[in-house]
Amino acid sequence: MATDELPLFKPTTQAVLRGPAPQGWPLLRLGFRPFYLGAAAYAGLALPLWLALLLGYVQIDMPVPPLLWHAHEMLYGFAVAVIVGFLLTAGKAWTGLATPRGASLGLLAGLWLAARIAAIAAPYPVYAALDLLLLPAVAVVLTTLLLRAGNRRNLPLAGILALLALANLGFHLAVMGVVDLPPLRALHAALALIVMIECVIAGRVIPGFTMGATPGLRLAPRPRVDAAALALTALGLAGWVLGAPAWMAGPLLAAAALAHTLRLLSWKPWLTRHRPILWILHAAYAWLPLGLALLAAAQTGWIPVTAGIHALAVGATGGLIIGMVTRTARGHTGRQLQVGRAEIAAYALVLAAAVLRVLMPLVAPQWLVTWLLTAALAWSAAFAIYLLIYTPWLMTTRADGKDG
């Protein structure tokens, strides 16, 4: 195991790490395999389709308005798939207990895929019903594993999954007119919950990775800064989602941005400049305080709220995802935790997509369509690179012959 292997995946029990010989189709041996593959493919396809719909190049009679489809699917189709794959993989290491594999994992992945197809091809109630099944199922699986293993530290993550499922229910009920709720507000709540997951996970893995890859480095824990960052982010995002007055939500979001900046600086990101598999995580995390600051500015009306939303969704979420799906896939397919030029290009393309989507429209809004098209091209190219490299690895047995 490399010295900077993922500490989240360190077992918390006395379970034997070396399991039985590999069995079954490799794609369905561990959760990251089908969900990372599906998420990457969907990321590369959904965004160009959205722009084609927006610009009138493609006409599809969809059961949901294209804008809502785009916003919902980038959260619940793309980001949630990565989160589910990550947690189903981490859950095994956290508890030493088996997570879904084989037919049961295939069923979960099939539910995710069926919902993505239904979003375009099925009546809305069918789409909603399929889309609402995955997260509660995964939340139950994860909660059961954590309780059986006595691992209460990670129970809040299962709770956030349940809240994500509740936000998804609110979205679908709003679209169908069952509840008087703006559908976008439910999606803003989902984005806020995903950001909270990122704050928790990044706060564990990024400093650990950095110390593991830097001989002699010891990063002193800063629990007060961590607690302040999490609390202020939760309060600020809740205020934004719930429509709190600008004088209340704005300062909370600005304070959260400052707390995350201090948190990031305490991890000494400049030391990772020669390790791309590390600097992508630091660079992506930097978009989190930037996004919060942009949301704070939007409360005053200085800039559109979409700048903050896309800083969090493209820069922070997209950047952390491309960093984690390369790193964890390498580790869990028995390969070295070192990336090549193609993967570095994928990192750069995701970060470029964030700049093009978030910052350039603020500088030159008259060229918005150009920025949208180039951002989408960069984003899709990044995940095409990932698929080209990682699809064979995700569909075959680990390089070291182990199960998983």
Residue 391 belongs to a domain: yes
Burial of 152 (0-12, 13-18, 19+ CB in 10 A): exposed
| pLDDT, position 61 | 85
Q: pLDDT class for 10, splitting at 50, 70, 90?
A: very low
Give the C-alpha separation, 175 to 160, whole Å: 23
The pLDDT, as a whole number, for residue 91 is: 94
Specify the number of domains making up the chain.
2
Kindly report the average pLDDT of the chain as a whole number. Answer: 93
Tokens of 12: 């918390």
Looking at the structure, tell me whether residues 230 and 336 fall in a common domain: yes
What would the two tokens of residue 60 be? 């599809």
**13 in any annotated domain:** no
Among residues 317, 302, 248, 347, which one has the least CA distance to residue 83? 317
Number of Cβ atoms within 10 Å of the Cβ of 68: 17
SS3 of residue 48 by DSSP? helix
**Are residues 295 and 393 located together in one domain of the fold?**
yes
- For the residues of 131-151, what is the DSSP string, one character each? HTTHHHHHHHHHHHHHHHHT-
Helix, strand and coil in the chain, % to nearest 5: 75, 0, 25
State the pLDDT confidence band at 21, using cuts at 50, 70 and 90: low
Does 120 map to a domain? yes
Let me know whether 175 and 251 are in one domain.
Answer: no
Does residue 137 contact residue 87 with C-beta atoms inside 8 Å?
Answer: no
Own/partner pairs, 125-130, CB within 8 angstroms, 24+ separation: 125/176, 127/63, 127/64, 128/172, 128/175, 128/176
% of the chain residues with pLDDT over 70: 95
Query: Which residues are within 8 A (CB) of 199 and not within 5 positions of it... i.e. 6 or more apart?
Result: 229, 230, 233, 260, 288
User: pTM score > 0.95 for this model?
Assistant: no
Please say if the pLDDT value at position 115 is more than 90.
yes
Range of the domain at 42: 28-181
The verdict on 139 and 270 lying in the same domain is no
**276 falls within a domain:** yes
- Separation in Å, CA 216 to CA 210, 213, 268, 274: 11, 9, 13, 16
Q: Are residues 245 and 392 in the same domain?
A: yes
Domain boundary residue among 181, 200, 230?
181
- Please list, residue by residue across 312-345, b when 16 or more beta carbons sit within 10 angstroms of its beta carbon and e when fewer do: bbbbbbbbbbbbbbbbbbbbbbeeebebeeebbe
Are residues 163 and 252 located together in one domain of the fold? no
Domain edge (last residue) among 132, 160, 181: 181
Residues 378 and 267 in one domain: yes
- Pair (174, 271) in one structural domain: no
Whether residue 84 is predicted with pLDDT greater than 60 in this model: the reply is yes
Of 125, 157, 181, the domain-final residue: 181
pLDDT above 90 (res 126): yes
Q: In this model, does residue 62 exceed pLDDT 90?
A: no
Does 242 share its domain with 371? yes
Is residue 239 located within the same domain as residue 291? yes
pLDDT band of residue 59 (cuts 50, 70, 90) is: confident
Is 94 part of a structural domain of the chain?
A: yes
Does one domain contain both 35 and 139?
yes
Does the residue 60 lie in any domain?
A: yes
Query: 57 lies in a domain?
Result: yes
Q: How many CA atoms lie within 13 A of 153 on its CB side?
A: 9
Cα angle 389, 316, 194 (rounded to 5 degrees) comes to 100
Q: Is the same domain home to 256 and 136? A: no
Q: Is residue 59 part of a domain?
A: yes
The model's pLDDT over 314-363, given as tens digits with 9 standing for 90+, comes to 999 999 999 999 999 999 999 999 999 999 999 999 999 999 999 999 99
Q: Which residues, in sequence order, are CB contacts of 210 under 8 Å at separation 6+?
A: 217, 219, 267, 268, 269, 271, 272, 278, 282
